[in-house]
Amino acid sequence: MRKDLLDLRSLSKQDIELILDTADACKEILSRPVRKVPTLRGKVLVNLFYEASTRTRMSFEMAGKCLSADVMSVSVATSSVTKGESIKDTVRTVEALGADFVVIRHSSPGVPHLIARTVRAGVINAGDGTHEHPTQGLLDAFTIRERLGSLAGRRVLIVGDILHSRVARSDIWALTKLGARVAVCGPATLLPPGLERFGVKVYTDLDEALPQAEVIQVLRVQLERQKGGLLPSLREYSRRYGINKQRLDALGQDVVLMHPGPANLGVEITEVAAEDRRSVIRDQVRNGVAVRMAVLYLLSGGDKSELAD
């Protein structure tokens, strides 16, 4: 395993499988009455989030604590960033204070890569602009594998705002490397050109795409990244691309419904659909802890067979 986890594009199928297999062992730890092992005792993990987060930040905190690391989360809004401190300076300061891992989320693609070249600490990309969100791609692959046994040959449809979605990019890398047949569907204005080059099938008509799918990953409409003119209206989007109970019921009882969160309920997915028994949205959140434990463990030089009890 390398020093950093910056993207899934550069990981091999074997790298991804090792992380998922390690996450299985981590999930077993999380099922114990005492959800803590001493594996990362003495190590320091710092969360540095320049964009909002609930799931990723909290699950990195939990993952670090379950492995006995000391965990700190820098509140960027009240840090010296507001006095003009550069990202490189902030990260060097964090490292001088003893960080072994820096988990970073930033609105600009490539910032985690820059930081990884700046510090000796292991750097984990927690989402960089529209580029990648590797631990989300891993936990999505883990959740599908857990539900269906294997990714090989499984038909996964990613629906929505593909253009702005770092989750879609990481999902496509992870799922295609593991042998899934991935399709995407959204309005033409929210589909980046050339997607077929990544081995995915492209649809603009949801009702044509849905019957082909065993797994549906619904993406959030990223209202904060829309530059205007890409969507006619949210109501129209919801009518043409929203997942509701009626569309879900047309797919049968075995379909797996996913959403990385946070969801705009009533826009890309209705609350009734999100709470349906076919939804694994809560599993995705829970599995995020196990997958992030696995990433921290492997980046620290651990071997799956040695995960301490």
User: Does 53 contact ligand CP by CB under 6 A?
Assistant: yes
Q: Does 10 bind ligand CP (CB under 6 A)?
A: no
Q: Which is nearer to ligand CP, 3 or 55 (CB)?
A: 55
Nearest residue (CB) to ligand CP, 53 versus 176: 53
Binding mask 54-73 for ligand CP (x = CB under 6 A): xxx-----------------
Q: What SS3 class is residue 128? A: strand
The interface with ligand CP within residues 256-285 (CB under 6 A) comprises 260-262
**Looking at residue 19, what DSSP letter applies?**
H
Q: Residue 66 or residue 139: which is nearer to ligand CP going by CB? A: 139
Piece of the chain touching ligand CP by CB under 6 A; list 40-48, 51-59, 89-97, 264-272:
51-59
Tokens 């009626």 locate to 246
Nearer Cβ to ligand CP (53/270)? 53
Spatial distance between the Cα atoms of 31 and 9, rounded to a whole number of angstroms: 31
For 131, phi then psi, to 5°, come to -80, -75
Contact with ligand CP (CB under 6 A) among 22, 130, 136, 165: 136
In the complex, the smallest distance separating the C-beta of residue 309 from ligand CP, rounded to whole angstroms, is 30
Report in angstroms how near the CB of residue 207 gets to ligand CP at its nearest.
27
Phi, psi dihedral angles at 49 (to 5 degrees): -110, 110
Minimal distance in Å, beta carbon 106 to ligand CP? 13
Contact between 219 and 163 (Cβ < 8 Å): no
- Which positions from 222 to 261 touch ligand CP by CB under 6 A, shown as an x/- string? --------------------------------------xx
Residue 54 or 189 having the CB closest to ligand CP: 54
160 is an interface residue for ligand CP by CB under 6 A: no
CB 51, min distance to ligand CP, A: 8
**Helix, strand, coil proportions of the chain in percent (round to 5)?**
45, 15, 40
In the complex, the smallest distance separating the C-beta of residue 96 from ligand CP, rounded to whole angstroms, is: 27
Report how far residue 205's alpha carbon sits from residue 241's, in angstroms, rounded to the nearest whole number. 8
Cα distances (angstroms) measured from residue 173 to each of 140, 215, 239, 247? 11, 16, 29, 27
Contacts of 89 (CB under 8 A, 6+ apart): none
Phi-psi region of 269 (alpha: psi -120 to 50; beta: other; left: phi over 0): beta
CA distance 76 to 47: 10
What is the rounded CA–CA span in Å between residue 48 and residue 90?
9
> Is there a contact between 272 and 245 (Cβ–Cβ < 8 Å)?
yes
Residue 223 CB, shortest distance to ligand CP, in Å, is 13
For residue 177, the minimal CB distance to ligand CP (Å) is: 20
Report the nearest approach of ligand CP to the CB of residue 226 (Å): 17
Question: Which of the stretches 23-31, 49-57, 83-91, 211-219 binds ligand CP when contact is defined by CB under 6 A?
Answer: 49-57
Q: Write out the residues near ligand CP by the rule CB under 6 A.
A: 53-56, 127, 133, 136, 260-262
